[in-house]
Amino acid sequence: DVKVTQSSRYLVKRTGEKVFLECVQDMDHENMFWYRQDPGLGLRLIYFSYDVKMKEKGDIPEGYSVSREKKERFSLILESASTNQTSMYLCASSGDSPRNAFGSGTRLTVV
Amino acid sequence: GDSVTQMEGPVTLSEEAFLTINCTYTATGYPSLFWYVQYPGEGLQLLLKATKADDKGSNKGFEATYRKETTSFHLEKGSVQVSDSAVYFCALSPMDSSYKLIFGSGTRLLVRP
């Protein structure tokens, strides 16, 4: 089975801090994704990457950036965390098909 | 743009009841359609999928049929169990962006013993 591992289950950060969320997948998938999950809104795509060093904006990229230096690792960066970025963040990966494999999520609280 | 609309929850049922969670979509052409399930404290897992009109996806007693004429992909199960309590997400993958998933807002299911 594909394993997608997110480095933290829970994080608490202060407003203005720079925050790194890390995601690693072990199936050599080309595509990796970062979503945020909010009640009543489902999952919304923040950024995705289809290859090393390649990235594209999703539906809600404002306030976020990403890094993909190696195929297996995809990092989400909050340059200056704000309280409206308090959310559950989910990482996913996929090969040619859109069958995404998801990590368990990181619940981020910005205070 | 493409979108997915799900019935709002929570849906509360007794064990062994019949389940329907409605899902309709808006998309160009023939997207692929999916149901994902999220158990408490976990990420999303693919439950079932259908890639063309009239296909039926099925898994673990759950079924959904791709209805092009009504742009729907309703999730059904004949007899739910307490262990089915979770959040269910309907999603589509557009024809022109096959790697991309567009999710509905999710429906929480609570099954009581």
pLDDT digits (tens, 9 = 90+) for B8-23: 889 999 999 999 999 9
- Chain A's closest residue to B42, CA to CA, is A104
Could you give the C-alpha distances from A33 to A67, A94, A111, B82, in angstroms and in order? 11, 9, 26, 31
Strands B75-77 and B3-6: unpaired
Distance (Å, whole) CA A87 – CA A9 = 12
Task: Tell me, yes or no, if A31 comes closer than 8 A to chain B by beta carbon.
Answer: yes
Structure tokens at A36: 């945020």
- Residue B51, SS3 per DSSP: coil
pLDDT tens digits, one per residue of A52-103: 989 999 989 999 999 999 999 999 999 999 999 999 999 999 887 667 789 9
pLDDT tens digits, one per residue of B67-91: 999 999 999 999 999 999 999 999 9
> Which chain A residues contact residue B99 at CB under 8 A?
31, 48, 50, 94, 96, 98
Give the residue from B25, B34, B38 with the most A CB atoms within 10 Å of its CB, the best one to mutate.
B38
Give the residue from A37, A46, A48, A59 with the most B CB atoms within 10 Å of its CB, the best one to mutate.
A37
